[in-house]
A and B are shown apart, each in its own frame.
Chain A
Amino acid sequence: MRPQAFVRTEPVPAMPPPASGRGVTGWLRENLFSGPLNIVLTLLSLLVLWWIVPPLLNFLIFDAVWVGEDRAACIVTPDRPRVGACWAFVAERINFFIYGFYPVNERWRVDTFFALLAIGIVWLLATWAPNKRVAAVYFFIVLPIVSIMLLLGFAPLRLSYVPTSLWGGILVTVVVSAVGIVFSLPLGVVLALGRRSRMPAVRLFSIIFIEFVRGVPLITVLFMASVMLPLFVPEAWSPDKLLRALVGVALFAAAYMAEVVRAGLQAIPRGQYEGAQALGLSYWKMMGLIILPQALRITIPNIVNSNIALFKDTTLVFIVGIFDFLRTIEAARIDPKWATPVTSTTGYAFAALFYFICCFMMSRYARGVERRLETGHKR
């Protein structure tokens, strides 16, 4: 009789790992093919991707024409049955898209302006850059003055006068958005404070202004600025076309900024106000030293988001006859020299890339700040 052993002497061989849930196939099964509905959705998505991606890549890259002199380079010929984007057209007109009609010899001034602006933006927004207070002074006070002297002309420095009617392209787009941003923030802060003020007249005025501007489309504000503003001032000071549009954009942006800032002000707990008052600070000291630094800090993501909206909205100055970036595209795409079936689409694709990259970078920045501000105490 064999001895009864209930205890195993050798280990059971290891079972193979479960087929699903691990590795590429497991991931695929779990995420893409977990049920009939999911399979249908996956197949539909693949179909959509198949419709979008290859034609898009073909158009933008593989079939694109990179060099050429005129339309002959971008038309369909028997040995080239498919023609994608006509980048040769963009390459030839790139200076027009950037500077508009700005005199060729003076274009270094525009480049300098871009460089100064870039320095200001990086200084103000980058977390590692020191001295934010100096940066704010630079961006909101020094930069506007220097830019006006640089772009418009300043006789003592032998910078010749360049009328705004010659400005165009990305220059105008950047100027309009920069002016909108630089003026809308202080104005918006004032309006937001006014809306929360205890003085009825101030509050009423702020509310009327904010709600009025937010209730009408930007185009009507621009029309108002461009046709009514000249009526409201003495004939001698009739502002130039670009300035009118800038006034319209700045006022419009200020109303939206005011609401963004107000949201930030409301997020500051009452104790902060009471603490400041208990210390005997005056209204402006309380706002400037205690409330606004905190409120603006937490609203940075929203401020950037509203600047994205503003940046996209600057295209509307096109309608009141300002030569912004989109308008230069519109002007160039109907040029007979480059008249091909793909010219319009190429122009729009270029504009889309420009706007997308700018806006996407801004929104990434806003997302980053938001993540950094999400500290434990916020629930």
Chain B
Amino acid sequence: MAQAAPPRISPFYDPRWRSIAFQLLLCAVIVWLAYSAVTNAAENLARARIASGFDFWNSTAGFDISQHLIPYSAQSTYGRAFWVGLLNTLLVSFLGIVFATIIGFAIGILQLSKNVLVAKLARGYVEVIRNLPLLLQLLFWYNAVLKALPVLRDSISIPGGMLLNNRGLFLPKPIFGPGFEAVPIAFVLGIAGAFGYRHWARRRQALTGQQAPVFAVGVSLILGLPLLALALTGFPVTFDFPEMGRFNIRGGIEILPEFAALLFGLSIYTAAFIAEAVRAGVQSVSHGQTEAAYSLGLRPLPTLRLIVVPQAMRVIVPPLTNQYLNLTKNSSLAVAIGYPDLVQVFTGTVLNQTGQAVEVVAITMAVYLTISLATSGLMNLYNRRIALVER
């Protein structure tokens, strides 16, 4: 039997041709948009006599930055200012992530407490914080709380040699004497030793079934070795206490109120979201898992550690990654309260001084994109490790 020839359809109705034509059209529109944007930009820049290119990178910045982790002065270059801003962003993001994780996990677990009062209180925290704009919270912490602290003359002194006033928090600065190098080395050795011990304990458990106190030994290795090193070298640490002068405070480490407000606001805000993720994750582990663990004779704490947490982490990690990224991106709100982060230094001051909007905004966006992609890449790696392995 002869096979019927496929019916001839006009190319207009052929899905293949249609899709090719549509894609060509889309590409043409995008190319045209890009082309007109570039020509317009060239024209507008030429008219405004704004240079283009990255030559500004090596010219003198001429402005000061209140907090710099690397040496910086007004004579430094714009490139240096960029690195200062980036490091400040990374600093506040890193510390923010640490604090937000701690607070968030605590609140998330408290939300699940059988104690109604505690659970409701934690729930209230989450509801209130999540429903208020971060910018409002930052402005509140900065303008209404930290800027309302007493002036320099009436600084509050906190036990331990700390001073608090509306210019910031002043902490004693540790000065490391000779021989202190042994302590970080001991710390690294402690971590390596803890991992080695864990490895050995696991192998032994797999072979003989005997368990070893991994946690206690690990903690005592990581904390004990540096303390031992400190004691053996004769405590080569002295403190430079902040001292009240007439017009300013001498010595010590200064924590700017801008930094404190940003760190505080970011941690508290993100913690509310992390708490929700934690609650959802723990609730996603079905009760049957806990009951099965109990019926195998596990006590509540091992049940939590061996059965519930590993399964909950699988659900918690993806939203947690998102929150870490959000926190990093939200740290750009620093510009509203004047903390010298990447956006404030670079997209603010450098952009205003050079007028090179395209280059400056492009660099800033590239930095955030890189951070975002790198973080989500790392988290995906971790996620793949703990993901459920199915048949």
**Residues of chain A whose beta carbon lies under 8 Å from any beta carbon of chain B:** 31-32, 34, 38, 41-42, 44-46, 48-49, 198-202, 205, 212, 214-220, 223-224, 227-228, 230-235, 308, 312-313, 315-316, 318-319, 326, 330, 333, 341, 344-345, 348, 351-352, 355-356, 359-360, 363
B26 within 8 A of A: yes
Task: Evaluate contact between A217 and B121: CB separation under 8 angstroms.
Answer: no
**What CA separation (Å) do A298 and B365 show in the bound complex?**
34
Known: A219-B333, A231-B41. A45 touches B118 (CB 8 A): yes
Task: Evaluate contact between B372 and A219: CB separation under 8 angstroms.
Answer: no
Task: Evaluate contact between A316 and B26: CB separation under 8 angstroms.
Answer: no
**What CA separation (Å) do A274 and B15 show in the bound complex?**
17
Task: Evaluate contact between A232 and B41: CB separation under 8 angstroms.
Answer: yes
CB distance from B228 to the nearest CB of A (A): 34
Q: Which residues of A contact B130 (CB under 8 A)?
A: 359, 363
Task: Evaluate contact between A363 and B30: CB separation under 8 angstroms.
Answer: no
Q: Which 9 pairs from chain A and chain B are nearest by CB?
A: A359-B131, A217-B329, A215-B372, A201-B23, A232-B37, A227-B357, A312-B133, A217-B332, A315-B135
B139 within 8 A of A: yes
Task: Evaluate contact between A38 and B115: CB separation under 8 angstroms.
Answer: yes
Known: A216-B369, A228-B358, A232-B40. A356 touches B118 (CB 8 A): no
Task: Evaluate contact between B114 and A34: CB separation under 8 angstroms.
Answer: yes
**What CA separation (Å) do A154 and B227 show in the bound complex?**
77
Task: Evaluate contact between A345 and B45: CB separation under 8 angstroms.
Answer: no
Query: Quick one: which of B114-144 are within 8 Å of A by CB?
Result: 114-118, 121, 127-128, 130-136, 139-140, 143-144
B336 within 8 A of A: yes
Task: Evaluate contact between B143 and A48: CB separation under 8 angstroms.
Answer: no
Q: Could you list some 22 contacts between A and B, CB below 8 A?
A: A34-B114, A38-B114, A42-B117, A44-B118, A45-B121, A49-B121, A202-B23, A205-B30, A215-B368, A216-B372, A219-B347, A220-B332, A220-B347, A220-B364, A231-B357, A233-B40, A235-B47, A315-B133, A319-B333, A348-B136, A355-B132, A363-B131
**What CA separation (Å) do A345 and B26 show in the bound complex?**
52
B44 within 8 A of A: yes
Known: A235-B44, A345-B144, A348-B136. A220 touches B26 (CB 8 A): no
Residues of B in contact with A, size category: 35 or more
CB distance from A51 to the nearest CB of B (A): 11
Residue of A nearest to B328 (CB): A217
Given contacts A228-B358, A228-B361, A352-B132, 9 further A-B contacts (CB under 8 A): A46-B117, A219-B343, A220-B361, A220-B368, A231-B41, A312-B131, A344-B143, A348-B140, A359-B130
B386 within 8 A of A: no
Query: Quick one: which of B354-368 are within 8 Å of A by CB?
Result: 357-358, 361, 364-365, 368
Known: A212-B369, A217-B343, A232-B40. A326 touches B361 (CB 8 A): no
B27 within 8 A of A: yes
Q: Which residues of B contact A199 (CB under 8 A)?
A: 19, 22-23
Q: Which residues of A contact B65 (CB under 8 A)?
A: none
Known: A316-B135, A326-B136. A231 touches B116 (CB 8 A): no
Task: Evaluate contact between B369 and A215: CB separation under 8 angstroms.
Answer: yes
Task: Evaluate contact between A31 and B47: CB separation under 8 angstroms.
Answer: no
Residue of B nearest to A363 (CB): B131
**What CA separation (Å) do A38 and B118 show in the bound complex?**
9
Task: Evaluate contact between B143 and A231: CB separation under 8 angstroms.
Answer: no
B113 within 8 A of A: yes
Within the complex, which residue of A34, A235, A313 is in contact with B133, where a contact is CB–CB below 8 Å?
A313
Q: Which residues of A contact B148 (CB under 8 A)?
A: 341, 344
Q: Which residues of B contact A46 (CB under 8 A)?
A: 117
Q: Which residues of B contact A316 (CB under 8 A)?
A: 135, 333
B335 within 8 A of A: yes
Within the complex, which residue of B43, B115, B135 is in contact with A32, where a contact is CB–CB below 8 Å?
B115
**What CA separation (Å) do A218 and B41 show in the bound complex?**
23
B373 within 8 A of A: yes
**What CA separation (Å) do A268 and B110 show in the bound complex?**
36
CB distance from A233 to the nearest CB of B (A): 6
Task: Evaluate contact between B135 and A356: CB separation under 8 angstroms.
Answer: no
B330 within 8 A of A: yes
Task: Evaluate contact between B369 and A308: CB separation under 8 angstroms.
Answer: no
Q: Which residues of A contact B136 (CB under 8 A)?
A: 315, 326, 348, 351-352, 355
Residue of A nearest to B110 (CB): A41
Q: Which residues of B contact A326 (CB under 8 A)?
A: 133, 135-136, 139
Known: A220-B364, A223-B347. A32 touches B117 (CB 8 A): yes
**What CA separation (Å) do A31 and B22 show in the bound complex?**
64
Q: Which residues of B contact A202 (CB under 8 A)?
A: 22-23, 26
Q: Which residues of A contact B358 (CB under 8 A)?
A: 228, 231
**What CA separation (Å) do A133 and B79 show in the bound complex?**
55
**What CA separation (Å) do A227 and B144 show in the bound complex?**
31
Q: Which residues of B contact A41 (CB under 8 A)?
A: 110, 113, 115, 117-118
